[in-house]
Structure 1
Amino acid sequence: MKVKLSLTAAWLIIIPAICMTSCSSNNAGIPYPDPAPDSIPRVFLPGIVSKDGLDFNASFSADGKTFYFSRSCNRKYVIYETVYKDNKWQPETVSSLFDSSYSNTDPFVAPDNALYFISNRPKDKSDTTGDYDIYRMAKQGNAYSAPEYLAGVNSDSTEYYVSVARSGNIYFASYHDGNLDLFMSKKTATGYEEPANLGGLINSVFDEHDPMIAPDESFLVFTSTRSDGFGEADLYITHKTNSQWGNPTNLGVGINTKTYEYCPYLTPDGKYFFYSSENEVKWVSSNVLK
């Protein structure tokens, strides 16, 4: 998510209240609420994930039984979770995995089960900047390690929204070059390479942020405020051919609206596409990306 202190934009897509206790499972073990959406987006778990305020972002745990999302609370971002128990998704609670004395948001569970997020927590005792940086918590048995500041990825400016490919390559947004652009940092045996700007076909004079990389890095979905959109900001998709990214395509009026669409997310089984819109979390069949 592009963090805005004005709290004017944050959304996700959700499902009707009828499906809170009736769920269907899949071969990835995620107990999706019924009825599942097709090509028409639904709001996801209204009354639990989307309420009266600003709720956004989406990520399932590795076992599919915990759903993480973000909420604006008293001008601070807090990561919540809802757990599937007793055949239904339980009321949301503040996730105990994150130090809520700081502002934390944009959780993402990577293919290796590590949990990434951004936070304005100081990287060390001398850090007084208050900007948002990317942190990682490795999965250790049934628990997570302490947050690790990604020194090879973060810059002196704010970093936004994390998406990690199966290779370990990390995609994110940053003001690193002065404009809000998309970057990729390649995972190596010793850490991460210097972040690379994704280039002129993807990045523009407008804001680009909130990347969602396909597990095999074959396509990328992101938010942009470019002038050919339908609203304040739209979701776009670009495909990679012969190691080169193609021209981004607007995902269209079925997804984008007159407001702000952001926080794209693909479920671990590849069946559903989540995103945020008009203070809600929405989901739809991943066929809309084909």
Structure 2
Amino acid sequence: MKRPLSALLAMLIPVCAAAKEAPSTVHPWTPAGVSSDLFESHPAFDPRTGDLYFVRSSKEFKGWRILTSHCDGRQWSTPVDAPFAAPGAEADPWFTPDGRSIYFISTRATGRQNSKDLDIWRADRNADGSWQKPVRLPEPVNSGEAEWFPRMAPDGWLYFGSNRAGGLGKNDIWRAKETSPGQWTVENAGPAINTAGDEYEPLPSPDGKRLIVMADGGLYQSHWDGHRWTKKEKLGPEVNVNGSEIGAAFSPSGKSLLFARDTGEPESGEFFVWQPQGAEAWPPMCGQAKTSGAARRK
């Protein structure tokens, strides 16, 4: 039975209005005491203490340092150097899920800010919660070129970026596995992930079924089909606003993604959280943010 045109329009208008009013799945996360007019990026939450570790650098994204902040029940504390800090550039902190170890990159071997000297390091925890002296991972994990963004998948493969020789492009995603104590095997992540351009940062999901990759143009996603990674696809425009998206971190559930974006002046790099499956109580909230959802810079 045909409906009058006016009736059809009446049915369509609410649908169109609802589509326009669909809630955003990406929101700023600018906790007071942490967010500043400098560049904040690469967040990681200590599974044991809840402390926030992150990278702060200049507005031009230079002079990387790993800082840490503690929630005292009211607000995030003034960020200070990580307890294992050393001279040079340091960035990309990542905790093992049990909180026993932290991986990061550093030029501490030379003490210089030159990113060419970046290597992957790991610090393990003592029984009292303090950190042992960091240890540089051996070759072939580290090379004569730069390594960055070490992230362990649930199956034991350590994913990272590097501009070492033997890749498919300028910078590639690689992965390494410790086959016996101190002995590692390393392989390229392959053409589904790497291109002739630049791929820098790999982030396996907590269940190992997805891989977020920071590459030319922003953030991409690949899926594990049971045998290999599928060809990565760029995330949508709500996430990739200007191609500067960087330093992603999954929530423990894998439902949320926290990342940084260069917003330009005056704030420079800021955190954003993507929750495509709906809101969850993450990132961890502190003080007033427990009721407001996120602290906003005034």
- Give the TM-score taking structure 1 as reference length: 0.76
1:1-290 maps to which residues of 2 (within 5 A)? 39-63=24-48, 65-72=50-57, 75-99=62-86, 101-113=87-99, 114-122=101-109, 131-141=117-127, 142-152=129-139, 153-177=141-165, 179-225=170-216, 233-278=217-262, 279-285=269-275, 287=277
Deviations 1:164-213 (A, max 9, x none): 12333210000112620000101333235232101111100110011101
Query: Could you say if the C-alpha distance between residues 259 and 49 of structure 1 is closer, same or farther in structure 2, counting changes exceeding 3 Å?
Result: farther
Displaced runs of 4 or more, over 4 A:
none
Q: Point out where structure 2 has 5 or more consecutive residues left out of the alignment.
A: 1-22, 263-268, 279-298
Residue 262 of structure 1 deviates from its aligned partner by 1.4
Structure 2 residue aligned with 1:5: none
Q: Point out where structure 1 has 5 or more consecutive residues left out of the alignment.
A: 1-37, 226-232
- Given residue 160 of structure 2, which amino acid in structure 1 is its aligned partner? F
| Inter-partner Cα distance in structure 2 for 1:90 and 1:137 | 23
Q: Which has the higher contact order (CA 8 A, sep 6+)?
A: 1
CA contact (8 A) 2:122 2:137 kept: yes
Query: Could you say if the C-alpha distance between residues 93 and 123 of structure 1 is closer, same or farther in structure 2, counting changes exceeding 3 Å?
Result: closer
Question: Aligned pair count?
Answer: 240
Deviations 1:191-242 (A, max 9, x none): 35232101111100110011101233221001111xxxxxxx2100000113
Residue 259 of structure 1 deviates from its aligned partner by 3.7
Deviations 1:12-66 (A, max 9, x none): xxxxxxxxxxxxxxxxxxxxxxxxxx85222223443321111111100013520
Deviations 1:64-95 (A, max 9, x none): 52011001159421111111113432232222
| Inter-partner Cα distance in structure 1 for 2:24 and 2:115 | 43
- Given residue 275 of structure 2, which amino acid in structure 1 is its aligned partner? S
Query: Could you say if the C-alpha distance between residues 234 and 129 of structure 1 is closer, same or farther in structure 2, counting changes exceeding 3 Å?
Result: closer
What SS does the corresponding residue of 1:49 show, helix, strand or coil? coil
Moved more, 79-88 or 101-110: 79-88
Query: Could you say if the C-alpha distance between residues 259 and 58 of structure 1 is closer, same or farther in structure 2, counting changes exceeding 3 Å?
Result: same
Query: Could you say if the C-alpha distance between residues 67 and 242 of structure 1 is closer, same or farther in structure 2, counting changes exceeding 3 Å?
Result: same
| Inter-partner Cα distance in structure 2 for 1:271 and 1:67 | 19
Higher strand residue share = 1
| Inter-partner Cα distance in structure 2 for 1:283 and 1:61 | 18
CA contact (8 A) 1:274 1:282 kept: yes
Q: Percent identity among equivalent residues?
A: 26
- Give the TM-score taking structure 2 as reference length: 0.74
What SS does the corresponding residue of 2:143 show, helix, strand or coil? coil
Structure 1 residue aligned with 2:7: none
